[in-house]
Amino acid sequence: MSEEKKRVEVCFSPESFDLYKQEYKVVVAIDVLRATTAICAAFEHGAEKLIPVSTIEEAEEYRNKGYMVGAERQGKIVEGFDFGNSPYSYMNDSIKGQTLVLSTTNGTKAINLAAKTHQVIVGSLINLDAVIAYLKELKEDTLLLASGWQGKFNLEDSICAGAITEALLESGEFISDEDSTIAAMFLYKKAKDNYFGFLKASSHRRRLRNLNLNEDIKYCLTPNQTDVIPVYRDGALVKM
Ligand code: 3SL
């Protein structure tokens, strides 16, 4: 392990990724509500591989080849697909040992964007401490990429990024100097005692609540339910 301190910074949206991407070795893709949480849940419950795809057309191609394929847009399951983006969809025996395919509004796009140029791991609140421990051990320049919502900022991914940042800075092995990173840590400090309450008025919590997905929200906002870290290798996510 080198003595030199490494950087950790937060990018609030895939739209800003180009401004940051040159400088980092590893990217943590974060979509707390719900894609990266659902992906962690899939591996926790026995999925072998998960191919993240950005478009419905790609998802259809995989479906036509016989894969189990999930697709979500605007929080809803896209008609004709096996499942959507609820972590609960993955909590059954049918996914054990399977290669799944998933396309979501923002999360799978963020993963694919970062994977073109970087080593990518998947972060969420449900695998928070595992991700922090891994990044401390890896000790590389790290970018925390919030998936946001259709190019815009969102609170839940920023809070998760703030939690990771705070832990890495506290280790004394990392530095940061972007205002986005400071803002993410401020948000995390405000939210950490009650994520559910803090996010009450947030746009995606409202969107999911209107779809009666409160149980999904609670699951996604409950930290440290798994040690699984999905990592992108050769076109698919696998368990590290
Ligand atoms: O944006 C995404 O990728 C999804 O996580 C959105 S949703 O929670 O499934 O609505």
Q: 161 in a domain, yes or no?
A: yes
64 lies in a domain? Answer: yes
CATH number, domain of 205, equals: 3.90.1560.10
Tens digits of per-residue pLDDT, 2-42?
A: 579 999 999 999 999 999 878 899 999 999 999 999 999 99
Nearest residue (CA) to ligand 1, atom 10: 75
**Closest C-alpha residue for ligand 1 atom 9:** 75
Residue 68 lies in a domain: yes
Containing structural domain, residue 123: 6-239
pTM for the model stands at 0.96
Say which residue the tokens 């840590």 belong to.
185
Quote the pLDDT of residue 2. 54
Beta strands 230-233 and 236-239, pairing class: antiparallel
Number of domains composing the chain:
1
- Ligand 1, CB within 6 Å, residue ranges: 31, 33-35, 72, 75, 85, 104-107, 147, 208
CA nearest neighbour of 167 among 128, 194, 196: 128
Structural domain contains residue 1: no
Instruction: Determine, yes or no, domain membership for 136.
Output: yes
How many Å lie between the centroid of ligand 1 and the Cα of residue 179?
A: 26
